[in-house]
Amino acid sequence: MLGRATRHDSHRSAIRREVAGSGTGRRISTVWLLVGLLVSLLILSQLGRGGRLEARARAVPAPLGSPAEPLAPGLADFVRGPEQLLQDAELVFGAGAGRFDTAAFLAGRPELLPGPPAATAAAIDGVARRHAIDPRLLLSLLSLDPAGEGVDTADRAARIAVWLADGYYGLKLRGEADLIFADGSRQRGPVEGGAAHFAVARYLARQGTAVEQPARQARFAERYAELFGAAPRLEAPVPDGLRQPPLLLPWAEGQRWHYTGGPHGAWGVASAWGAVDFAPPSLVGCRAAPEWTLAAAPGRVTWSDTGLVLVDLDGDGNEGTGWVLAYLHMASEGRVAVGRWLEAGEPLGHPSCEGGVADGAHLHFARRYNGEWLPAAGGPVPMELSGWRFSSLGGEYDGSMQHPEQGERMAVTSRRGGASDLVSDNGPARREALASAWAALSAGAPARLEDADSGLSRAPEPMTEAARPAAPATAAAAMSAAGGATGAATIAVRIALEGRDDASTPVVLGLVGAAAPPLVLMARTNAAGETGAIALPDEARGIYDLTLRAPGFAPAFVLGVTIGEPGLEIDLSAGGRLRLAAGELNGDDVIDGRDLGAWLTHWRAGRPLADLDGDGWAGPGDLWRAMNAAAGR
């Protein structure tokens, strides 16, 4: 354990602590020594065959607003073939999709699709970002069955996207598991391969027969691999245990709007029923309403076109990482521009009928996580706005919303009667109360998928507000470190905390390099120059794994962790990877055989925590270090 923040630590401004293994309770048993020797022989045998064990980055964050399970690469490449066409993270608009440069890709392959490459790329990107489907998948399917000149690429891509969404979300959320062939016959689809595999198989089935299906799937697998090469094994876009960050009703405090549409398709009827509709009180028909739609949470605008505004809550500019909010039917006049940072409660557009099918001015509101649409009612992460939760009553648009203190509201489209009006609390006091939780999003989520899926023709990452140079937060952050080329360092940090009376104590991470200005992570500086750190949960106890991305910095820089004011400060300098002191791996403040067992678990999973000596890979030296620590030497 790195250190514990207690009241007795407050008289020190900086502490560097190693837990030296000695004394009662830290002696390793003979059984564990034998196990360790056996593992050593296993590792040496692998090395003798030319094997190399790699430690892959993985972290489990705890603060509210961070994902409960960040996405990480697996230990081997994904084996693509007729029986496993696609991974879920390759179908939705994930991190790789957000970094893929369609225009550059087509410029180098003008023969792939008809029409000018630049215009074709723009059409495909527009469909991909609206429907939340990976453009690489659209390119593969478009080129698999090319159309002649004069065929509208955007229309073809949109039709493909609808079919893919119907298969993907139909299997995941509605249990629809049949393939439907061109002759109208049906058979149960390959659901064991996952939702993305099933969705592609279902799309391919519509143009062939059951006999032709294996060959069509093999042809797709070959085409995708031909265009984009091998891929790492990716985890599911939506991790278990994910929690939604706080979101407010998206209109001004005190205004009374109407809940007009229950849970329905986030983008088209085929996608997840992730959207709900609200209409302003002016009821102006299809003209732009005078009322403003306000940001439900802070974030950066990444798309603003044809009625749709997408706001990226982690601020990294990549719609494929973390939380993204979709605001549809925003009028052209007054609509917020791409690139702007919005604070919660700032106006982003007027409700209208632009951008889709609508018979009256309203707001269509939906959420994505890592590029996947999330159902508004139920599902892995139910939608919650200012304490209101949503229920589906069986049909699309048919639903209600409930609040523990304000009761129930029925969607107008449910036609069941009951009140539909509700008042927003999106005002300064409510936003101030949620500021620390929102600050976590800008530090915890950026580019979590980059190591797993970086896309092609990667463009430079824009500097975000959260990543702009700021004053060092700690003495450790003021230290300089040697060397290292600038880039984007992904830093995994583990801190161990005991409970404290002050539940609002923040955690700030500071990073500094000799060739770059100092940077404060997990913090955001507002217009008044005040920097707010991420607050710990009410029960500030246990192990916290935090993964951060620092644009413009290389891993070999000094990291400082400050807990509280003045609190406890821990300095780390292990190449961006935590070198655990003396092998205390499980956070129980005792170094014993259980820690050696934990090391074995980390080693088998290829996790960076198994790399105790910081040389970039886990091997016999790390095992020897773990055994010595557990034995008290």
Is residue 620 classed as helix, strand or coil in its secondary structure? helix
pLDDT single digits (tens) 203-249:
999 989 999 999 999 999 999 999 998 888 888 999 988 999 999 99
- Give the per-residue pLDDT at 118: 92
- Give the per-residue pLDDT at 632: 58
C-alpha–C-alpha distance, residues 4 and 498, integer Å: 6
- Give the per-residue pLDDT at 177: 93
DSSP for 269-330, written as a single string: TTS-S-EEEEE-TT--TTSPPSSPEE-SS-EEEEEEETTEEEEETT-SS-TTSSEEEEEESB
C-alpha–C-alpha distance, residues 268 and 265, integer Å: 5
The token pair that represents 183 in the structure block: 């002759």
C-alpha–C-alpha distance, residues 303 and 311, integer Å: 7
pLDDT single digits (tens) 294-320:
999 999 999 999 999 999 998 888 899
- Give the per-residue pLDDT at 425: 92
DSSP for 8-57, written as a single string: GGTT-S-B-------STT-PPPHHHHHHHHHHHHHHHHHHHTT----PPP
* pLDDT < 70 stretches in the chain: 1-76, 148-151, 442-599, 601-618, 620-622, 624-626, 628-633
The token pair that represents 537 in the structure block: 């949960």
pTM exceeding the 0.85 threshold for the entire prediction: no
Within 10 angstroms of residue 190's Cβ, the number of other Cβ atoms is 20
C-alpha–C-alpha distance, residues 57 and 62, integer Å: 17
The token pair that represents 184 in the structure block: 């109208």
Q: Residue 552: which of 463, 443, 445 has the closest Cα?
A: 463
Q: Residue 190: which of 174, 176, 201 has the closest Cα?
A: 201
Q: What angle do CA 618, 619, 623 make, to 5 degrees?
A: 100
- Give the per-residue pLDDT at 539: 42
